[in-house]
Amino acid sequence: MPIEQNQKAFDNKKYLNLEKKALLKRANKFDQLFLEIGGHLLHDGHASRVLPGYNSKNKLELIKSLNNKTAIFYCVSAKELELNRNWGNTNQKIKNIAIFELKKLIKEINICGVIISRFNNEKKAIDFALNISKLFNIPVYFNNEIKNYPNLKSTFSKSGFDAQPKIKSSKKIIVVTGAGANNGKLFFCLSQIYHQTKIGKNAGYAKIETFPVWDLAVNHPVNLAYMAATADINDKVMIDPYYKKAYGKIVVNYNRDIDAFKVLKKLIKKMSKKNNFMRNYKSPTDMGLNEISKGFNNEKKIINASKKEILNRKKSFEKIGNKLAVKRINKLLEKLIKS
């Protein structure tokens, strides 16, 4: 049946139904699931631009649809607070972005606490914590930086996971989000799984990230647009070698997850029981829950939108003078021409 010209390029209802089904299936593998959600809950502008018709609040709608099954924690890096630099391709400081998002999120969902990650007595982090407590009257927890993390000896010493705060919640799904990438979401999840395991609970980890799209090619315009969006931190979409070895199939993931997976497997093995479902993760892609491509209605429109996004990202980085990010995007444009 031909696609109508005025039909949206993305089907939100289909996507959310499939994503919720996958999430609940994974959650049922554990007593408690720690779910890392990448990107912004309030407004995923990148996704709505690249996938015409995509509801920028889809992740928030997904959480809301779970009713009372979730507790939500928000992570901010002490290191980024201390640097006090402009965040990403914006002219905003991370503390201001976090406060803005928390003000909005609290009106929509129940935020159970703010986690300040990689903390080592940074003054700006302490000031931020005091400000959060004053503004929102919600708990603030400090995830202390572990020297030589993720070295196993350091991580499982008395000053490692044992020294991290223990968060108590009876909810089935603990949603962990934050002010963008590199804000300690995974570390928080692992430290809490460690504490849960110590008291005999079968806790686990999974993640939801819209991009990169695991079942599209590395050089698909959607994945190139993701690399353009993260050109400042140099995220790269790559073939997942672990998935290829385990299943004989080619899928993609991004470099940070691929690079970290070998160490993550060791952490999981040491901190979990033999029957824990996380031990079935053979690749970083196995950890993810991403049904996004099944919501595509019109790939041609999506490809055109992705190309436009790459060009706009280049202009944004040119505007703020990030020459290195512009150089990386120029290389992506070369791949776009060849693909």
- Work out the number of other CB atoms within 10 angstroms of the CB of residue 28: 10
Confidence category of residue 181, pLDDT binned at 50, 70, 90: confident
The per-residue pLDDT for 89 is: 61
| pLDDT of 287 | 97
Cis amide linkage into residue 212, ω under 30° from 0 = yes
One-letter amino acid identity for 189? C
For 134-161, what is the mean pLDDT? 95
Query: What pLDDT does 3 receive?
Result: 42
- Low-confidence winner among 88-92, 142-146, 317-321 (lowest mean pLDDT): 88-92
- Distance, C-alpha 151 to centroid of its chain: 23
What pLDDT does residue 314 have?
A: 96
> What pLDDT is stored for residue 92 in this prediction?
85
Percent of residues, the chain, with pLDDT higher than 70: 97
Confidence band of 5 (pLDDT split at 50, 70, 90): very low
CA neighbor of 173 nearest in space, from 21, 71, 75, 26: 71
Q: What beta strand segments (E) does the chain contain?
A: 32-37, 70-77, 111-119, 140-144, 173-178, 203-208, 237-239, 252-254
Which two tokens mark 302? 């999506």
Residue 90 predicted with pLDDT over 80: no
Question: Residue 2: is its pLDDT beyond 50?
Answer: no
Average pLDDT over residues 317-332: 95
Reported confidence tier of residue 91, pLDDT bands at 50, 70, 90: confident
Residues of the chain with pLDDT > 90, as a percent, come to 88
Find which of 36-40, 192-196, 319-323 is predicted with most confidence, using mean pLDDT.
192-196
Mean pLDDT in the chain?
Answer: 94
108 — pLDDT class (breaks 50, 70, 90): very high
**Cα dist. 80→45, 83, 116, 181, 296 in Å?**
22, 5, 10, 11, 36
Minimum mean pLDDT range among 160-174, 175-189, 199-213, 216-230: 175-189
CA distances from 316 to 110, 263, 334 (A): 34, 35, 19
Statement: residue 10 has pLDDT above 50: yes
Residue carrying structure tokens 């934050």: 178
Q: Which residues of 128-137 are buried (b: 16+ CB within 10 A; e: fewer)?
A: bbeebeeebe
88 pLDDT band, cuts 50/70/90, is: low
pLDDT score at 84:
86
SS3 category, 51: coil
- Strand, coil or helix: what is 181? coil
Q: Work out the pLDDT band at 1, boundaries 50, 70, 90.
A: very low
Q: Which CATH number fits domain 12-215+236-296: 3.10.630.10, 3.40.50.800, 3.60.15.10, 3.30.750.24?
A: 3.10.630.10
Q: pLDDT (tens digit, 9 = 90+) per residue, 255-270? A: 999 999 999 999 999 9
User: Taking 70 as the threshold, does the pLDDT of residue 319 lie above it?
Assistant: yes
Q: What is the mean pLDDT of residues 165-194?
A: 94
